[in-house]
Amino acid sequence: MPIINKLFEIYEARGFEVSSGLNPCHMENDAAAPFTCLFKNGTPYTNGLGIAMQEIYFLECLFADYRPKKIFLIGNSFGWSTIAIALLNPQARIVALDSGGDPKSLEGLEMTNDIGRELTLDVKAVKGISPQDVGTAVAEHLDGSIDFCFIDGLHTNEQIVLDYKAVQPFLTENGVMLFHDAISCGMEPGIEEIKELANGNIDYLQGTSSGMAILHSGNLSEVTATVKTFSFDDRLLDFMKQKHRQEKHRHLHRWKRSLKKRAGPFSFLFTQ
């Protein structure tokens, strides 16, 4: 079920203007353009950016048939991801952990809980730090087990390994872990370390705006189908990169040819 309209309505009802899903090519190649920013009176209200509209679509595909009962998130901010996942999994109990490192993220914890109550969703956003507070939060609010975990906290290779190690003891047999910003924040070394530690498959989801990575058992067809849709063969990626380089070279060649034509007697300045 598409939820993007509902998400916009939820935050707009609280006085926010929402920007999400913009094309970087239309925004001077701004890499942040696809991601979600909350504004008030035309000014950014939050320090971080929420997951992109295309990543909401990924979650819609993932949860169309895959229905986890216990969901844990590391990183909440203003609850954009938490509420999105809750809307897609009304059957689930959902707990989001956030350090509350600044006053606005503390406001985000409170607002996430308010939205959950208003929508009668089983959502609990709590203040805490990974890895040290993960065990307490999972034991207290999820009865000690996790079916699905979304990691979107501190984006460093060291931290995501710590996040994985903190969550892994509570992950059920076919549990799934999703890592945001894996490619865009250069966290491949951390993901590769997790791959060595984990007993499961890790795939890079190049079809998501941030290049998320997903750890899964490979035993759930409803998960593997979506993973296949949003990940790409290395040969295809190499072809697309080569095509991009060729297209960039053609643009540069046309630009030089145009300048050379206009330069007249000074055209020698634009010869290669």
Instruction: Identify the band that residue 270 occupies on the pLDDT scale cut at 50, 70 and 90.
Output: very low
Per DSSP, the residues of 62-109 read HTTT---SEEEEE--TTSHHHHHHHHH-TTSEEEEEE---SHHHHHHH
Read off the pLDDT of residues 231-247 as tens digits, 9 standing for 90 and up: 987 666 666 666 556 56
The reply to whether the predicted model has a pTM over 0.75 is: yes
Question: Tokens standing for 55?
Answer: 């990543």
Read off the pLDDT of residues 123-154 as tens digits, 9 standing for 90 and up: 999 999 999 999 999 999 999 999 999 999 99
As a whole number of angstroms, the distance between CA 216 and CA 225 comes to: 12
- Average pLDDT value for residue range 171-190: 97
As a whole number of angstroms, the distance between CA 168 and CA 163 comes to: 8
Read off the pLDDT of residues 147-179 as tens digits, 9 standing for 90 and up: 999 999 999 999 999 999 999 999 999 999 999
